[in-house]
Amino acid sequence: MQRIGINALFLKKAETGIGRVTRSLLRELSRIDNKNEYILYTDTRLPDFKLPTNFKIKLVPSGFYRREDLIKQTVWERVSLPREAEKDNLNIFFSPYNSVSRFKTIPNIVLLHDVIWKVLAQIYLYNFRRKIYAGQTFEAVRSAKKILTVSEFSRREINKHLEISLEKIKVIGAGISSKFRSLEKNDPAVLKTFKKFGIDNPYIFYIGGFETRKNVSTLINAFSKIVRHYKNNLKNRVLVIGGATPEEKHPLLEDVVGLVEKLGIKDSVRFVGKLSDEELIHFYNGADFFVFPSIYEGFGLTVLEAMACGVPIIASQIGSIKEVALDTVHYFHPEREDELVQSINRFLTDQILREELRVKAVNRARDFNWQKPAENLLAELENNAKK
């Protein structure tokens, strides 16, 4: 039996990509492993997260600093967490994201989803604190006994940008919950969600965040051209954008609401805000098609969710998405707004293409679940644990 420590900080951020991955891996680990003992370290009580008896949650306070920001996270990861973990006679420690934690006596495995902070440093490292945190993160990753990642694309990127040997990097993959599924557009639950949000038009859908790299401004600009030049093809469709929009200016975020107002297309765009998983599934299923214009992703979990829900997809022609989706989506170059305009216009008029891609996407999505990634993770934990 191994005693395994896990950084569970992101369980409190279930709406984030890392939060989803952490929660999914832990749930699957709890299903397949009843012999090892797990200690989950976090700074917040998690009343809604139930696990079997071989999983324990240990609260580790952040100390005197209370503000939820990068300073608090750095202190917790660098000081509070290692100090407590070293007391617990662990055989190995696992961090499901690239934290700054380093340990004196415990072998450490890190799940590094991507190297966005390295590739897009000019965007992400916009102040001194973030530069310091990034530097400490990269040092901690290099010191780990093993690095896990979610795709072959990210494995190559880690090797290239952090100069870590490919032999030290293992792809465990990623999955999707079975609750992301295809539903009928007239399903009563779907219609109830539409009524709640006031959606009574057919629509094109986007969700996935508003960071600059998500490239939502290109989608909005392209859609404005559709409104102006292809109104007959658009008919009464609107663009529905999910997710909590930025309330104030931020160096990492695009002002998507301001852009919509500037372009004069407020009547053709609906911002529906933060969605529950069930509401998100309903919006995927109700859409005529989904557009994902991101410039950089480590895996493309949002695209996979849309695939599983059976919505036709237009997506960026980038390595990670092509690895996941293969030939099941329609690709465009994310820096070519004109290509996106052409792609949207084609989807508006070519129902046969949309249906062909929808069927292929649903079938491809069946290849992804959380069992295999959890089995891969468990094997690495056991193989790299100290005896």
Q: What is the pLDDT of residue 282?
A: 98
Distance from CA of residue 242 to its chain's centroid?
Answer: 14
Distance CA 130, CA 70 (A): 8
Distance CA 155, CA 148 (A): 8
pLDDT in tens, 10-54: 988 877 788 889 999 999 999 999 999 999 999 988 767 788 999
Share of the chain above pLDDT 90, in %: 85
CA atoms within 13 A on the CB side of 305: 24
Distance CA 351, CA 202 (A): 14
Evaluate if residue 68 carries a pLDDT over 60.
no
Residues 170 and 78 in one domain: yes
Evaluate if residue 349 carries a pLDDT over 70.
yes
Residues 51 and 155 in one domain: yes
Q: What is the pLDDT of residue 247?
A: 84
Evaluate if residue 327 carries a pLDDT over 70.
yes
Residue 182 lies in a domain: no
| Mean pLDDT score, 67-92 | 89
Going by pLDDT thresholds of 50, 70 and 90, the confidence category of residue 291 is very high
CATH number at residue 161: 3.40.50.2000
| Mean pLDDT score, 166-182 | 96
Query: Which two three-digit tokens encode residue 85?
Result: 């973990």
Residues 15 and 96 in one domain: yes
**Which of 333, 310, 337, 335 lies closest to 321, judged by CA?**
333
Going by pLDDT thresholds of 50, 70 and 90, the confidence category of residue 265 is very high
Evaluate if residue 258 carries a pLDDT over 80.
yes
Residues 168 and 307 in one domain: no
Evaluate if residue 66 carries a pLDDT over 80.
no
**Which of 220, 237, 208, 254 lies closest to 337, judged by CA?**
220
| Mean pLDDT score, 59-88 | 83
Distance CA 4, CA 379 (A): 12
Distance CA 302, CA 211 (A): 14
Residue 319 lies in a domain: yes
Residues 160 and 223 in one domain: no
pLDDT in tens, 190-221: 999 999 999 999 999 999 999 999 999 999 99
Q: What is the pLDDT of residue 48?
A: 75
- Element (DSSP H or E) covering residue 356: helix 351-365
Q: What is the pLDDT of residue 65?
A: 52
Residues 374 and 359 in one domain: no
Residues 150 and 195 in one domain: no
Q: What is the pLDDT of residue 72?
A: 83
Going by pLDDT thresholds of 50, 70 and 90, the confidence category of residue 139 is very high
Residues 125 and 204 in one domain: no
Residues 7 and 136 in one domain: yes
- Coil, strand or helix at 189: helix
Residue 71 lies in a domain: yes
Going by pLDDT thresholds of 50, 70 and 90, the confidence category of residue 242 is very high
Residue 138 lies in a domain: yes
Find the angle CA(180)-CA(185)-CA(188) to the nearest 5 degrees: 90
Residues 224 and 322 in one domain: yes
Evaluate if residue 138 carries a pLDDT over 90.
yes
Q: Which residue has the higher pLDDT, 45 or 100?
A: 100
Alpha-carbon Rg for the chain in angstroms: 22
Q: What is the pLDDT of residue 33?
A: 95
Q: What is the pLDDT of residue 140?
A: 94
**Widest distance between CA atoms in the chain:** 69
- DSSP calls for 150-185: S-HHHHHHHHHHH---GGGEEE------TT-----T
| Mean pLDDT score, 246-271 | 94
Q: Is-contact 294 285, C-beta < 8 A? A: no
Q: Which residue has the higher pLDDT, 17 or 153?
A: 153
Residues 171 and 196 in one domain: no
In sequence order, the 6+-apart residues with CB closer than 8 A to the CB of 30 are: 51, 52, 54, 55
CA atoms within 13 A on the CB side of 325: 34
Q: What is the pLDDT of residue 16?
A: 79
Q: How many domains does the chain have?
A: 2
Share the mean pLDDT of the chain: 94
Read off φ and ψ for residue 219, nearest 5 degrees. -65, -45
| Mean pLDDT score, 141-170 | 97
Lowest mean pLDDT among 64-68, 213-217, 279-283: 64-68
pTM strictly above 0.85:
yes
Evaluate if residue 103 carries a pLDDT over 80.
yes
Q: What is the pLDDT of residue 387?
A: 81
Range of the structural domain that residue 321 is part of = 188-365
| Mean pLDDT score, 112-137 | 92
| Mean pLDDT score, 116-138 | 91
Residues 19 and 138 in one domain: yes
Residues 105-131 as b/e (b if ≥16 CB within 10 A, e otherwise) read ebbbbbbbbbbbbbbbeebbbeeeebe
